[in-house]
Amino acid sequence: MFDLLRSRYRLSQDPATVFGMSYADGASLQAEQGTDELVSRLVDRFRAVAREYEVVLVLGTDYHDTQLPAELTLNARLANEFNASVIAVVGGLRQTADSVVAEVHNANLAFSTQDCDVLAVIANRVAPEDATQVAARLKERLPVPVYVLPEEAALAAPTVAQVVQTLAGQVLLGDAAGLARDVLDFVFGGAMLPTFLAALTPGCLVITPGDRADLIVGTLGAHSAGAPAIAGVLLTLGQRPGPDIMALADRLAPGTPVISVPGASFPTAAELSTLKGRLTAATPRKAETALGLFEMHVDTAELTDRFAVARSPRVTPMMFEHELIERARSSRRHVVLPESTEERILRAAEVLLRRNVCDLTLLGEKIAVRKRVADLGVNLGLDVVEHKGSAICRIVDPQTSPLREDFAETYAKLRAHKGMTVELAHDVVLEGSYFGTLMVHAGLADGMVSGAAHSTAATIRPAFEVIKTAAGVSIVSSVFFMCLPDQVLVYGDCAVNPDPDAEQLADIAIQSAQTAAQFHVEPRVAMLSYSTGTSGSGADVDKVRDATVIVRERRPELPVEGPIQYDAAVDARVAAAKLPGSKVAGRATVLIFPDLNTGNNTYKAVQRSAGAIAIGPVLQGLRKPVNDLSRGALVQDIVNTVAITAIQAQGKTQTPA
């Protein structure tokens, strides 16, 4: 578990300090020297860690083969000795609703009678059909919040890699992404191909003798068509198809695992029947599923408020990214993604759906998209119709969509002054960015994100032509959220406007301050120049000085300073020397660059040299949100940008402009 937390949240803690002692050592110490000595040793270990960190998360014993007498009492005593609040977790797997309710009530009572500060109780892995009833019954009976997490098959499912390890199998075909797929079911091959194909289920591992070339090719062919997408193929009896069949299999479903094991089908089935999935650093997709499940069923705001922990003013990159996800999913929106066969887009889409961030529409030919989804082994729930509160994903093909005709007429009307006709517009709207932008314009989607495989111009040109600027805004601009180790700064404009004049620069500053405030960064605006205060002159400095005056006239309540050099804007010692008494100098959070050349180079220099995480560009000034991606964007960058787009949409109207 620590390896998972360390890899995901970039923890620097020495692994040697993580564990108090093993269960075996604890049981032996308790038996030989008593509970007091055991508790004393553990308290010493805890305090050694607590001296180094603001907050310590303590995982109690797991009540499974620990051989510790009076285990609950021991956990309660340790919580009190650590001065720690308690979140009690009760297992609900394979229990009736009545049993879960009773166990949760007993757990709360047991810890409460030991004078523990119980923050909440969580019932975990409850039968999905009982979850709503259990939650309602417990809400009436307990004085603390109770959250009910239903059983999720994907979390309990082993990955293909775990199957390979358990069976000492040999991977004949497949890549790392294929081996990371969850095995949700097992289907044993024995029937003729037409009958066998009908038995396939999404995420299943097909188990068949290696000499059944018909089942191997047929299964991979069905997978390639996404009907359904399987986890992989396991060949028993140590038999392997000939090279021609293997070559065909590789072409049909590249990346899909084909594994050979020496055993027969029956003993193989017996071993697999007891195999369970594990949440580890090697299973990041399971981590996303677990987080999504938790966020969907736990009121995280309520739980956070119950913690008696002083909040640090520091905002780390992970904290900022977490808040983006939380805010986006708090009022779920619908975002359209035109680049539907781009691998990073599809992997980001899987994360967004697992975290329940927003509903998604992928634009493209349905067969091609499904094939790409199957080849990558991502699970987008494309066949799910009823979402039951979860985010959903659908595919829309602009070529065959009934929306094409309406969009062509709309675009022709909007661009008639440029000579656009309905006939020409029929072809224009087939392009993904145009079709997606028109969906946003029509209120059929709340926002669009593109650019992973297209230029910035290809993404924002349709937005300029269709969405257009918001009321009172003269220019569309952009910002980057620069996530430094202990704070988030807002840089603008680093992506859109090459050389804004004073009026435009003032507009960029005001928009950037509004964007900062929307994302909980208190705006203190620095209008950057190579000169601070009245120390310099020249056209470039005068432009910044004039822009600062305009900002103060239009937004007198907004803290703004300019012209000011970067060091004076962010370093309190330099600020004290150059601009003593300034409310912004040394504390600036929104930094406005005089031109694109300066802004773009600066953000990249800070990103590469200081190790900052740059989230953006985030477009501002449009009536509805459309955002561009860097063509080098990573999966997490795409997730962040989509979350930002959804948050922007939460403040926008949903009717056509």
pLDDT at 656 over 50: no
| Residues 489/591, Cβ–Cβ less than 8 Å | yes
% residues pLDDT > 70 (the chain): 96
Query: How remote is the C-alpha of 317 from its chain's centroid?
Result: 13
Q: Does residue 260 have a pLDDT over 90? A: yes
pLDDT in tens, 545-604: 999 999 999 999 999 998 999 999 999 999 999 999 899 999 999 999 999 999 999 999
**Spatial CB neighbours of 406, under 8 Å, sequence gap ≥ 6:** 442
What confidence tier does 385 reach under pLDDT thresholds 50, 70, 90?
low
Alpha helices in 55-207 (DSSP H): 71-81, 97-113, 128-141, 153-156, 160-167, 176-179, 193-198
CA–CA separation, 602 and 597 (whole Å):
8
What is the rounded average pLDDT for all residues in the chain? 88
Least confident of 149-163, 226-240, 307-321, 500-514: 307-321
Q: How much is the pLDDT for 309?
A: 59
Name 393's bridge partners.
Answer: 360
Query: 122-131, 158-167, 171-180, 283-292: which range is least confident on average?
Result: 283-292
Give the pLDDT confidence score for residue 473 in this predicted structure.
84
Distance, CA of 79 to CA of 100 (rounded, Å): 24
Statement: residue 657 has pLDDT above 70? no
Range scoring the smallest mean pLDDT among 201-215, 303-317, 641-655: 303-317
| Predicted confidence (pLDDT) at residue 404 exceeds the cutoff of 70 | yes
Higher pLDDT, 282 or 388: 282
Binning pLDDT at 50, 70 and 90, where does residue 313 land?
low
* pLDDT tens-digit map of 452-472: 888 888 888 999 999 988 888
pLDDT for 465 equals: 92
Residue 121: strand pairing partners: 88, 146
Give the sheet arrangement for strand 626-628, strand by strand: 393-396, 359-363, 334-337, 447-450, 626-628
Categorize the per-residue pLDDT at 115 as very low, low, confident or very high, splitting at 50, 70 and 90: confident
For residue 446, name the pLDDT band (cuts at 50, 70, 90): very high
% of the chain beyond a pLDDT of 90? 49
Model confidence at 388: pLDDT above 70: no
**Confidence check: pLDDT of 654 > 50:** no
Q: Would you state the pLDDT for residue 314? A: 66
Helices (H) and strands (E) in the chain, counts: 28, 19
pLDDT top residue among 383 and 234 = 234
Which residue's structure tokens are 């495989």? Answer: 453
- Which domains does the chain possess? 2-151 (no CATH), 156-273 (3.40.1390.20), 472-621 (3.40.50.10750)
pLDDT tens across 342-353, in order? 999 999 999 999
pLDDT at residue number 602 = 93
Residue 378 is encoded by which pair of tokens?
Answer: 């991502």
Q: Is the pLDDT of residue 127 over 60?
A: yes
Higher local confidence (pLDDT), 551 or 303: 551
- Residues 196, 189: contact at Cβ < 8 Å? yes
In this predicted structure, the answer to whether residue 444 has a pLDDT above a threshold of 90 is yes
Alpha-carbon gap, residue 176 to 161, rounded angstroms:
9
Helical H runs in 17-63?
23-33, 35-50
Distance of CA 155 to the CA centre of its chain: 17
602: number of CA atoms within 13 Å, CB side? 25
For 548, the token pair is: 């600062």
Q: Which segments of 393-537 does DSSP mark as H helices, in order?
A: 403-414, 422-428, 432-441, 456-462, 502-518
Q: Which residues contact residue 297 at a Cβ distance below 8 angstroms, ignoring those fewer than 6 apart?
A: 131, 147, 148, 149, 150
**Looking at per-residue confidence, does 134 or 273 come out higher?**
134
Alpha-carbon span 631 to 628, nearest angstrom: 9
Number of Cα atoms under 13 Å in the Cβ half of residue 293: 21
CA distance 429 to 451: 17
524 vs 62, residue with greater confidence: 524
- Give me the mean pLDDT over the 642-650 stretch: 94
Question: In this predicted model, what pLDDT tens digit does every residue of 207-234 receive, in sequence order?
Answer: 998 889 999 999 999 888 877 889 999 9
Where residue 44 falls among pLDDT bands split at 50, 70, 90?
Answer: confident
Q: Does residue 98 surpass a pLDDT of 60?
A: yes
Lay out the sheet containing 488-492: strands in order across.
560-564, 525-528, 590-592, 488-492, 477-483, 613-620
